[in-house]
A and B are shown apart, each in its own frame.
Chain A
Amino acid sequence: MDEERQVIEARGVWKIFGERAEEVLRAVRQNSLHKAEVLERFGAVVAVRNIDFAVERGEIFCIMGLSGSGKSTLVRHINRLIQPTHGQILVNGQDMGALSAEELRALRASRIGMVFQNMALLPHRTVRDNIAFALELRNTDPFTRHQLANGLLETVGLAGYGDAIPSELSGGMQQRVGLARALAADPDILLMDEPFSALDPLIRRGLQDEFLALSRTMDKTTVFITHDLDEAMRMGSRIGIMRDGEMVQIGTPEDIILHPKDSYVADFVQGLSRLKLVFAHRIMERPETYNKAHGNLTDVDTWPQAHPKADLNSLVSLIVGQQCPIAIRDDGKLAGIVTKDALLKGIQGQS
């Protein structure tokens, strides 16, 4: 991966909760103890276990895992709300552990925005003052704060709600305020800790779409925590799957669905619809192979045409009502053939 483009990098991060964490760490590394054994022997919890990952500029990196898998703990290492027991976090090449308290506060206020599952808005302040909170902490003047908050309210679709107090808003609206607050200082990095988990499904869906649209225009690097694989697949440029504090697999949604690293990940992705996550080039046959089997490539120009990056969903639309296969062309050159059988198997997940 390109060093220049890396915004966040975790190197061998360990987090052990409990007394004598250092001692426990040594024991765990020597004897490669399991989480349950550590809890039994030391009364300590291994929340994050030797994790490496890197997030590139502009991508949405999803960390997916069930509750208790350590994903929320991991994300709090990025802005050092939690100190790692061992290992390093680099943000823009800067070692977070080496920052002084004041430098850390400045970084948090200006470079890293965070959105929380339970919104965590300040109930005694207006929406506007909540949004401008980070700026207020850095002593920005009230006029600038006011202007900026109004602009952000418009961005998140809450124009005119500036003088409301949080409890007057619905959950979805509160989370929009939470998002606006995270964006207020125009940070490069957004940390989103299960931001939409507490919302009901319809609102969640809407907010996911809005956030995707927003992030396309804003060029922020996002670390997105979720326990919902569908959400991870929708949002993530890349996904890291965590279990018991370990990063099991990191990859693009397609990678993970096609090449699950172990049975745990496979179980996860089993029930997932592949229609929008798998693309034509994964299931097409090479023209020569097709020719050898069927020997009928003469009328290929009359067949439906598609790009290798077309997802299975669009291929289904093309092939419905047709007797012939689909021709996959890259820059006008015939790259492969997708037959109906191959498409059906591709949807099913057998290639």
Chain B
Amino acid sequence: MTVHAPGEQDSGQATVPPDNSDSLASFKEFAGPGGDRYGRTFLRIQQAKLAGHHLNISALIGGFLWAALRGNWPLFWIGFATDMVAAVNVALVHKYDLAAVQAATDGKDFLVQRYDGWSDAHLQAALILFFAGRLLLAWLADRLYYHHYTQWRVNRSLPSGQAIKRLGIGMLAVLLVAPLTIYRASQFAPDQRSCIKLAHMIQDGEQVPLKDRFDCWTISEFPTLVWLQRPLQYTFPRNDDGTRSIVVKEPSSQRPVNLNNWLSEHIDQGIDYVKAFYGWLFDGVTRWIRVLLNAVEAVFVGTPWIVTSLMLVMAAVRLAGSRMGLFTAAVLIYLALFGFWQTAMSTISLTVAATVICVVAGLPLGIWVAKSKVGAAVVTPALDIMQTIPSFVYLLPAVAFFSVGKPPGILATVIFAMPPMVRLTALGIQHVPASTKEAALAFGASPRQLLLKVELPLALPSIMAGVNQVVMLSLSMVVIAAIIGAGGMGFIVVDALARTQVGRGILAGIGIALIAMMIDRVVQKVNRT
């Protein structure tokens, strides 16, 4: 593949000005075989004179193999991907042709027609993709290859010239990817269920066609191994005197299970054990959350709407000015007129309770993280995990240990919303200038005075930003917690979703959005002043 047909734009100008000889030599050194041709092209690119329709003929013919030979792997993958998609389309043609024949023998004419249509469509797609892909590759080839050259100039260990070894690597990649992918496209893959059935048949010693086995192993769900014995069944019944005892039973079925079933049964039993013997702990936590929530609800839900709404509007005016007061009033009127008053107040109560817990727990944790290496080593990974897990998943442990209702809802919310409080408190304290702390120490501050008189005041903006985030995250999680029975506005949305009553859901959704905006604006305004 060393022969490069020059594009017609080359013919006009055969001689190159002498001051380009350095560049040309470097181009040739890089390109190796075919250096003259690449040298001219690169020079045009450098001079911004490359024609818009310039194509690399070798790349057009050789496709991704040309890119492999040249060691340009981005081009290789582009070329390989387009060719691969075209090949998959050809395989699909084959698949639907077979399906059409099958349908014809089954006498389902409408299916024959449908499959034939799909088959034709995929054939066209295959042709278009193949040619368009090759054209794209040929168009990109010299342009990206020049980029490759500029990088090679900086780092000479990058591949240059052409090498058969790289062609081999490219072929190997193709062999690993292509055959099975194309095979998968040409077949109707068996589903997991039929594969499990197949596994059972093999276990029972029945004859199974080789192709079915192969399909189950290669193009179906990843073959999970089914070899583990079911664990013993533990239960923890309550005795007459209130204590618990452990009862062990043989598993109900002797069929082996896969890793997933095996472990999830173990986890269930572990949770049952903890709940049976440490239930007092979870009951205690639930009770305390309940006490807090009752106090907050007494303010928001237990007070007549006239008093609560006046209080809220006045608070907004005091904290964030008359415009925010007006907005708050508008939000409250919306909630009241659409019959969301009690539910909205319940949502706000949940949010406030969760926020209180987050701040009370998060502030000392943040200080610990900022002050102690151990604290940072313990808490930071936990926070990382907490922030990576999708909010939905938090509901699981809450339900597992605390059952359903408002307290587990608040608990899940607290876990979800606390990380920014801890992080921003720690960040605020860590960002107090060392010189300021040093000055305080130089005037005889004790560690406690340093914290209270210097670090916390200086970290206050950061801490307040943390509170703001906690409030917003709490609100969003409280709504999700409706799934586990936390009630409030979220419940209306969940209920509306379950019954496909879109209108009701939208009205409640707008209500939630308005509450969020109201709280956000007020808290932000407070932060700024």
Which positions in A face B, CB cutoff 8 Å?
79, 81, 101, 104-110, 112-114, 116, 118, 120-124, 133-134, 136-138, 181, 185, 191
Contact B458 A108 (CB under 8 A): no
Contact A138 B439 (CB under 8 A): no
User: A120-B433, A120-B435, A120-B436 known; A79 and B442 CB under 8 Å?
Assistant: yes
Instruction: Determine chain B's interface SS by DSSP, over half rule.
Output: helix
Contact A138 B444 (CB under 8 A): yes
Name the residue on A nearest B439 (C-beta). Answer: A120
Given the complex, which residues of A lie within 8 Å of B460, measured CB to CB? 124
Contact A133 B443 (CB under 8 A): yes
Provide 26 A-B residue pairs closer than 8 Å at the C-beta atoms, listed in order of the A residue. A81-B442, A101-B446, A105-B445, A108-B441, A108-B443, A109-B444, A110-B444, A112-B442, A114-B442, A116-B438, A118-B435, A120-B433, A120-B435, A121-B439, A122-B440, A122-B454, A122-B457, A123-B458, A124-B457, A133-B443, A137-B445, A137-B446, A137-B449, A137-B453, A181-B443, A191-B442
Contact A108 B435 (CB under 8 A): no
| A105 to B449 CA separation, bound complex (whole angstroms) | 11
Given the complex, which residues of A lie within 8 Å of B439, measured CB to CB? 114, 116, 120-122
Given the complex, which residues of A lie within 8 Å of B435, measured CB to CB? 116, 118, 120
- Which chain B residues (444-474) contact chain A, with CB distance < 8 Å? 444-446, 449, 453-454, 457-458, 460
Contact B436 A105 (CB under 8 A): no
User: A120-B433, A122-B436 known; A134 and B444 CB under 8 Å?
Assistant: yes
Name the residue on B nearest A114 (C-beta). Answer: B442
| A17 to B458 CA separation, bound complex (whole angstroms) | 29
Name the residue on B nearest A123 (C-beta). Answer: B458
| A59 to B439 CA separation, bound complex (whole angstroms) | 23
**Minimum Cβ distance to chain B for residue A209 (Å):** 25
| A185 to B443 CA separation, bound complex (whole angstroms) | 9
Given the complex, which residues of B lie within 8 Å of A109, measured CB to CB? 443-444
Which positions in B face A, CB cutoff 8 Å?
433, 435-436, 438-446, 449, 453-454, 457-458, 460
**Minimum Cβ distance to chain B for residue A182 (Å):** 8
**Minimum Cβ distance to chain A for residue B457 (Å):** 5
| A349 to B339 CA separation, bound complex (whole angstroms) | 95
Contact B444 A108 (CB under 8 A): yes
| A301 to B16 CA separation, bound complex (whole angstroms) | 95
Given the complex, which residues of B lie within 8 Å of A138, measured CB to CB? 444
Given the complex, which residues of A lie within 8 Å of B441, measured CB to CB? 81, 108
Given the complex, which residues of A lie within 8 Å of B436, measured CB to CB? 120-122
Name the residue on A nearest B454 (C-beta). Answer: A122
**Minimum Cβ distance to chain B for residue A127 (Å):** 15
**Minimum Cβ distance to chain B for residue A123 (Å):** 7
**Minimum Cβ distance to chain A for residue B450 (Å):** 9
**Minimum Cβ distance to chain A for residue B448 (Å):** 11
Partner of A137, one of B433, B443, B458: B443
| A286 to B440 CA separation, bound complex (whole angstroms) | 57
| A121 to B446 CA separation, bound complex (whole angstroms) | 17
**Minimum Cβ distance to chain B for residue A122 (Å):** 6
| A153 to B118 CA separation, bound complex (whole angstroms) | 90
Name the residue on A nearest B445 (C-beta). Answer: A137
6 shortest A-B CB distances, which residue pairs?
Answer: A109-B444, A120-B439, A108-B444, A134-B443, A105-B444, A114-B442
Name the residue on A nearest B437 (C-beta). Answer: A120
Name the residue on A nearest B449 (C-beta). Answer: A137
Given the complex, which residues of B lie within 8 Å of A191, measured CB to CB? 442
Name the residue on B nearest A124 (C-beta). Answer: B457
Contact A124 B440 (CB under 8 A): no
| A50 to B439 CA separation, bound complex (whole angstroms) | 26
Partner of B444, one of A120, A121, A137: A137
Given the complex, which residues of B lie within 8 Å of A107, measured CB to CB? 444
Beyond A114-B443, A120-B438: 20 further Cβ-contacts under 8 Å?
A81-B441, A81-B442, A101-B446, A106-B444, A108-B442, A108-B443, A114-B439, A114-B442, A116-B435, A116-B439, A118-B435, A122-B440, A122-B453, A122-B457, A122-B458, A133-B440, A133-B443, A134-B444, A137-B444, A137-B445
| A191 to B440 CA separation, bound complex (whole angstroms) | 14
**Minimum Cβ distance to chain B for residue A124 (Å):** 5
Given the complex, which residues of B lie within 8 Å of A108, measured CB to CB? 441-444
**Minimum Cβ distance to chain A for residue B440 (Å):** 7
**Minimum Cβ distance to chain B for residue A216 (Å):** 25
Interface centre among B433, B442, B454 (most CB of A within 10 A): B442
Given the complex, which residues of A lie within 8 Å of B453, measured CB to CB? 122, 133, 136-137
Given the complex, which residues of B lie within 8 Å of A118, measured CB to CB? 435
Given the complex, which residues of B lie within 8 Å of A101, measured CB to CB? 446
Name the residue on B nearest A82 (C-beta). Answer: B438
**Minimum Cβ distance to chain A for residue B76 (Å):** 45
Name the residue on A nearest B438 (C-beta). Answer: A81
Interface centre among B433, B441, B454 (most CB of A within 10 A): B441
| A110 to B444 CA separation, bound complex (whole angstroms) | 8
Name the residue on A nearest B441 (C-beta). Answer: A81
**Minimum Cβ distance to chain B for residue A188 (Å):** 15
| A108 to B293 CA separation, bound complex (whole angstroms) | 48
Given the complex, which residues of A lie within 8 Å of B449, measured CB to CB? 137
| A351 to B169 CA separation, bound complex (whole angstroms) | 83
**Minimum Cβ distance to chain B for residue A75 (Å):** 10
